[in-house]
Chains A and B, each alone.
Chain A
Amino acid sequence: MADDRPEKILAALGGADNIVEIEPCITRLRCELEDGSLVDEAALKALGAHGVMRSGNVVQVVVGPEADTIASDIEDLL
């Protein structure tokens, strides 16, 4: 992906230091975070996320079918 969306999504998740694991699942990024409260939900939605589901430090960001690509781009940034 040529745009800077993965970088911005990573920032909205609290940055690389906050990521324990990111796993793509077809339509969403399942993110296990050090601190779920650092997530900027409004920023994720502004970046095109269809929805954000939080359960403590596990946050799922619904990004649509590009999830696989976005996740691997984020992995490259970690």
Chain B
Amino acid sequence: MTLRVASPVAGRVVPLSEVPDPVFSQAMVGPGVAVEPDRTAAEVVSPVDGTVVTLHPHAFVVATAEGAAVLVHLGIDTVKRKGEGFSLHVVKGETVRAGQAVVSWDPAEVEAAGFSPICPVVALDATAEALGDLADGTAVTAGDALFTWTR
């Protein structure tokens, strides 16, 4: 099956290699893309239909019923914000639909605090060959397709 992975935020899609964090730029946990988010307060939406299996204020993982897990990370080193500026709309274990709001944040505020607000979206434990139709270089709004994941 081919899974459509939607953008959690509005912004410009860039290669994962541009993320200033080796875990993402070297695809240590999986391939994907990153979104350089528009600098306006916004709701971050789920990239797929599934269950919120991991939830932090600054990052979350949604796993589909088939076991495909997509990681969304809001900014780099933003764990150090300790949740400040992030407002959760779901709880861990909750079932969500693609496009459903998971958390609200303000990329401009994150940037002003000295962090990169770039958002890696990673197909966990996937191979690079499994991803297709990467939206690199395009502008997206939340919910637009970022890539497909063939499993």
Contacts and interface: CB of A to CB of B under 8 A. Distances in A.
B23 interface: yes
Given A23-B79, A26-B56, A26-B71, A65 B61 contact: yes
B124 A62 contact: no
A65 B22 contact: no
Given A64-B124, A65-B61, A68-B54, A26 B73 contact: yes
Contacts, number: 41
Given A27-B29, A51-B22, A65 B71 contact: yes
Interface string A48-61: 00110100000010
Question: Which interface class (under 10, 10 to 19, 20 to 34, 35 or more) fits A?
Answer: 10 to 19
Given A26-B71, A27-B71, A53 B29 contact: no
A51 B21 CA distance: 12
Contacts of B22: 51, 53
Given A23-B79, A64-B29, A65-B54, A51 B23 contact: yes
Interface of A: 23, 25-28, 30, 50-51, 53, 60, 62, 64-65, 68
Interface of B: 22-23, 26, 28-29, 53-54, 56, 59, 61, 69, 71, 73, 79, 124-125
